[in-house]
Amino acid sequence: MADVITYREAVAEGIAREMRRDPAVVCLGEDIGAAGGVFKTTVGLHKEFGSERVWDTPISEQAIVGAAMGAAMTGMRPVAEIMFSDFLACCWDYLANEIPKVRYMTGGQVTVPLVVRTANGGGLGFGAQHSQATENWAFTVPGLKIAAPATPADVIGMMAAAIRSDDPVVFFEHKGLFATKGPPAPPDHLVELGQAAVVREGADVTLVALASMVPVALTAAERLAEEDIDAEVIDLRCLVPLDTRTVLGSLAKTSRLVTVEENPYQGGWGGTLVSVVADEGFGLLDAPVRRVAAECVPLPFADALEEQVIPTVDKVVTAVRRLAAY
Amino acid sequence: MTGAVSTNAGQLLALYEQMAVIRRTEKAAHDLFLAGLVKGTTHLASGHEAIAVGASAALRDDDYVFATYRGHHHALARGATPEECLAELMSRATGLCKAKGGSMHLTKASHNMLGSYAIVGAHLPMAVGAAWSARLRGTGQIAVAFFGDGATNIGAFHEALNLAAVWKLPVLFICENNLYMEYTPIADVTAVANPAADRAPAYGIPGEIVDGNDVVLVQEAVGRLADRARAGDGPSLLEAQTYRHFGHSRTDPATYRPAEEVERWLKHDPLDLARGRLAELGVPEEAVTEADARATGLVQQAVDAAKQAPAADPREALTDVWADGGAAWRT
DSSP codes of every residue in A26-60: EEEETT-STT--TTS-STTHHHHH-TTTEEE--S-
Shortest alpha-carbon distance between residue A286 and chain B (Å) = 23
Closest chain B residue to the Cα of A105, Cα to Cα: B101
What CA–CA distances, in Å, run from B71 to B64, B104, B140, B145? 14, 7, 25, 11
Residues A263-282 pLDDT 10s = 999 999 999 999 999 999 99
Tell me phi and psi for residue A24, to 5 degrees.
Answer: -80, -10
- Find the helix or strand (DSSP H, E) in which B165 lies: helix B155-167
DSSP code per residue over A131-149: ----HHHHTTSTT-EEE--
Judge whether residue A222 has pLDDT over 50: yes
What is chain A's Cα-based Rg? 19
> Residue B290 corresponds to which amino acid?
E
> Residue A6 corresponds to which amino acid?
T
Contact A103 B320 (CB under 8 A): yes
- B156: Cβ–Cβ under 8 A, 6 or more apart, which residues? A62, A63, A66, A93, B121, B122, B124, B125
- CB proximity under 8 Å: B 233-262 to A: none
Going by C-alpha positions, the residue among B165, B178, B164 that lies closest to residue B239 is B178
* Mean pLDDT value of segment A232-246: 98
> Residue A226 corresponds to which amino acid?
E
ipTM of the complex: 0.96
Give the C-alpha separation, B162 to B173, whole Å: 12
Report pLDDT for B250.
87
Tell me phi and psi for residue B45, to 5 degrees.
Answer: -105, 15
Residues B250-290 pLDDT 10s = 889 899 999 999 999 999 999 999 999 999 999 999 999 99
pLDDT band at A246 (very low <50, low <70, confident <90, very high): very high
Q: Which residues of B touch A93 (CB under 8 A)?
A: 119, 122, 156
**C-alpha atoms less than 13 angstroms from C-alpha of A51 in its C-beta half-sphere:** 3
- In this structure, are residues B89 and B103 in contact, taking their beta carbons and an 8 Å threshold? yes
Contact B107 A166 (CB under 8 A): no
Closest by Cβ to B133, choosing from A75, A111, A166:
A75
Report pLDDT for A1.
56
Shortest alpha-carbon distance between residue B115 and chain A (Å) = 8
CB contact B110 to A (< 8 Å): yes
Judge whether residue B5 has pLDDT over 90: no
Closest by Cβ to B107, choosing from A97, A106, A165:
A106
User: Which burial class, exposed, middle or buried, applies to A119 when counting CB atoms under 10 A from its CB (0-12, 13-18, 19+)?
Assistant: buried
| Backbone dihedral region for residue A143 (phi beyond 0: left; psi -120 to 50: alpha; all else: beta) | left
Residues A164-218 pLDDT 10s = 999 999 999 999 999 999 999 999 999 999 999 999 999 999 999 999 999 999 9
Buried-exposed string A4-17: b where 16+ CB fall within 10 A, e elsewhere: ebbbbbbbbbbbbb
Q: Which residues of B touch A208 (CB under 8 A)?
A: none
Cα A212 to the center of its chain, rounded Å: 9
Which positions of A are annotated as active-site residues? 61, 130
- B24: Cβ–Cβ under 8 A, 6 or more apart, which residues? B82, B295, B296, B298, B299
Report pLDDT for A150.
98
Work out whether strand A231-235 and strand A197-200 pair parallel, antiparallel, or are unpaired: antiparallel
Cα A244 to the center of its chain, rounded Å: 16
pLDDT band at A326 (very low <50, low <70, confident <90, very high): confident
Residues B42-58 pLDDT 10s = 999 999 999 999 999 99
DSSP 8-state symbol, A322: H
A to B CB pairs, distance under 8 Å: 166
- Find the helix or strand (DSSP H, E) in which B329 lies: none
Contact A67 B134 (CB under 8 A): no
Percent of chain A clearing pLDDT 90 (strictly above): 97
What structural domains does chain A harbor? Answer: 5-182 (3.40.50.970), 197-324 (3.40.50.920)
Q: Is B264 helix (H, G, I), strand (E, B) or coil?
A: helix
Residues A65-121 pLDDT 10s = 999 999 999 999 999 999 999 999 999 999 999 999 999 999 999 999 999 999 999
Contact A142 B98 (CB under 8 A): no
Going by C-alpha positions, the residue among B287, B244, B220, B304 that lies closest to residue B26 is B244
pLDDT band at B4 (very low <50, low <70, confident <90, very high): very low
Judge whether residue A2 has pLDDT over 90: no
- In this structure, are residues A116 and A249 in contact, taking their beta carbons and an 8 Å threshold? no
> Residue B253 corresponds to which amino acid?
P
pLDDT band at A261 (very low <50, low <70, confident <90, very high): very high
Judge whether residue B69 has pLDDT over 80: yes
Q: Is B146 helix (H, G, I), strand (E, B) or coil?
A: strand
What structural domains does chain B harbor? Answer: 17-306 (3.40.50.970)
Contact A109 B143 (CB under 8 A): no
pLDDT band at B2 (very low <50, low <70, confident <90, very high): very low
Q: Which residues of B touch A167 (CB under 8 A)?
A: 322-323
- CB proximity under 8 Å: B 27-46 to A: none
| Backbone dihedral region for residue A314 (phi beyond 0: left; psi -120 to 50: alpha; all else: beta) | alpha
pLDDT band at A133 (very low <50, low <70, confident <90, very high): very high
Residues B131-188 pLDDT 10s = 999 999 999 999 999 999 999 999 999 999 999 999 999 999 999 999 999 999 999 9
DSSP 8-state symbol, B188: G
Shortest alpha-carbon distance between residue B51 and chain A (Å) = 23
pLDDT band at B98 (very low <50, low <70, confident <90, very high): very high
- In this structure, are residues B238 and B224 in contact, taking their beta carbons and an 8 Å threshold? no
Give the C-alpha separation, B116 to B105, whole Å: 4
Closest by Cβ to B129, choosing from A71, A109, A276:
A71
Closest by Cβ to A71, choosing from B133, B325, B328:
B133
User: Which residues in chain A belong to E strands, given as ranges?
Assistant: 5-6, 25-29, 54-56, 77-84, 115-120, 145-147, 169-174, 181-182, 197-200, 205-209, 231-235, 238-240, 257-264, 290-294
> Residue A317 corresponds to which amino acid?
V
Q: How many CB atoms lie within 10 A of CB A195?
A: 17
Contact B95 A167 (CB under 8 A): no
- In this structure, are residues A241 and B328 in contact, taking their beta carbons and an 8 Å threshold? yes
Q: Which residues of A touch B68 (CB under 8 A)?
A: none
Residues A39-73 pLDDT 10s = 999 999 999 999 999 999 999 999 999 999 999 99
Contact A194 B331 (CB under 8 A): yes
Q: Which residues of A touch B66 (CB under 8 A)?
A: 70
Judge whether residue B3 has pLDDT over 60: no
Contact B129 A26 (CB under 8 A): no
